[in-house]
Structure 1
Amino acid sequence: MRTLVVIPLLLILAACGGSASPTSTPGATAPTATVSTPAPLPASPPAGALPTGEAWVTPSGDLPGPVRLAVGAAAEAASVPVEQVVVVAWAAVDWESSALGCPKPDMVYLPVITPGYAVRLSIGGKEVEYHTNLETTVVRCSPPLRR
Structure 2
Amino acid sequence: MLLTVSLAACAADTPAEPRDPGTEKSPTGLPIATAPTEMPSASTGTTGTVDPPETHMAAIRADLDGRGVSGSDATLVEAHRKTWNTGALGCPLPGVSYTQALVEGWQVVVKVGDKTYDYRFGTDATPTLCENSMNFIGIPAETPTDI
Shorter-normalised TM range: 0.5 to 0.7
Q: Which residue of 1 aligns with 2:91?
A: 102
TM-score by length of 1: 0.53
Deviation at 1:84, TM superposition (A): 1.2
- Residue 128 in structure 1 maps to residue 117 in structure 2: yes
Superposed CA offset, 1:67-109 (max 9, x none): 43123213322x1332111121111111111111111011000
2:44–2:83 CA contact under 8 A, matched in 1? no
Residue 61 of structure 2 corresponds to: 71
Match of residue 92 from structure 1: 81
Aligned match of 2:45 in 42, 53, 65? 53
Instruction: Give the Cα separation in 2 of the matches to 1:76 and 1:56.
Output: 29
In 2, are the aligned partners of 1:130 and 1:138 still within 8 Å (CA)?
A: yes
User: Of the two structures, which has the highest relative contact order with CA contacts closer than 8 Å and spacing of 6 or more?
Assistant: 1
Preserved contact between residue 58 and residue 88 of structure 1 (Cα < 8 Å):
no
- What letter corresponds to residue 66 of structure 1 in structure 2? H
Normalising by structure 2, we get a TM-score of: 0.53
Distance (Å, rounded) in 2 between the aligned partners of 1:96 and 1:107: 15
Q: Indicate the larger mover: 129-138 or 91-100.
A: 129-138
Is the Cα contact below 8 Å between 2:44 and 2:85 reproduced in 1? no
| 1:131–1:86 Cα change, 3 Å | same
Unaligned stretches of 5+ in structure 2? 1-41, 133-147
Matched residues in 2 for 1:82 and 1:104: separation? 25
Moved over 6 A (4+): none
